[in-house]
Amino acid sequence: MSVRDLIPWGHNNGNQMPSLLRDDDRDPFLSLHREVNRLFDDVFRGFGPGLPSLRGAGGFGAGWPSVEISDTDKDIKVTAEIPGLEEKDIEVLLNDGVLTLKGEKHSETEDKEKQFSERYYGRFERRIPLGAEVKEDQVDAAFKNGVLTVTLPKTEKAQSQVKRIAIRS
């Protein structure tokens, strides 16, 4: 074996120069395939969590409805923004330490003249693991102005399990 056998551009009688392109980059169909994939990745990466995407239940993004969760020593409070819905369209379930918010938003009218709409309709479901025991018989849910607030009081056992740790400097 000679040193010439180890040089990659030396296999075709030495008449081929080194190239910056790999062999598969010279194929126009493979290059087109790569560019189309990159285009789709860029388009769907641009969608925020509140906009519809191809992922998530019912065609909604995984973040709909938007929620805030506050966890204090005594209770857990979950606040969800669900504009455009009424109480009858929302279902709140508590099962095995998981709070589930379900609902469906219906279209008010069937407008064939619409050219563009950022509004979305359909079912949603959001599951929130609580991570603490709650008093299931004292859970309270209130819905006002498109905001759902669920208050879940913790059991005495869950309250006593919280241990404050002092920080030394």
User: For the segment 105-133, what is each residue's pLDDT rounded down to a tens digit?
Assistant: 876 666 677 777 666 677 888 899 988 88
Could you tell me if 14 and 20 are in contact, meaning their C-beta atoms sit under 8 angstroms apart? no
Instruction: Report the distance separating Cα 63 and Cα 130, nearest Å.
Output: 17
Query: Which pLDDT score, from 0 to 100, does residue 70 have?
Result: 92
Query: Which pLDDT score, from 0 to 100, does residue 4 have?
Result: 62
Q: C-alpha 72: how far from its chain's center?
A: 25
Could you tell me if 4 and 11 are in contact, meaning their C-beta atoms sit under 8 angstroms apart? no
End-to-end CA distance of the chain: 67
Which residue shows structure tokens 């409070």? 77
Alpha helices in 46-163 (DSSP H): 156-160
Instruction: Report the distance separating Cα 90 and Cα 65, nearest Å.
Output: 11
Instruction: Report the distance separating Cα 66 and Cα 4, nearest Å.
Output: 64
Encode pLDDT of 31-86 as tens digits.
888 888 888 777 766 655 444 433 344 444 445 788 999 988 889 999 999 888 88
Longest dimension (CA), the chain: 85
157's CB contacts (< 8 A; 6+ apart) are: 133
